[in-house]
Amino acid sequence: MKKNANEKIMMLQYRIKRYQAMGNGAMCQTLNGKLQKLLTKQPAM
Cα–Cα dist 24/1, whole Å: 31
pLDDT at site 44: 60
Q: What is the pTM of this model?
A: 0.77
- pLDDT classification of 29: cutoffs 50, 70, 90: very high
Cα–Cα dist 29/44, whole Å: 24
Q: For the residues 17-34, what does the mean pLDDT come to?
A: 93
Q: Where are the domains of the chain?
A: 2-41
pLDDT at site 3: 78
pLDDT at site 5: 84
- pLDDT classification of 45: cutoffs 50, 70, 90: low
Q: For the residues 5-20, what does the mean pLDDT come to?
A: 92
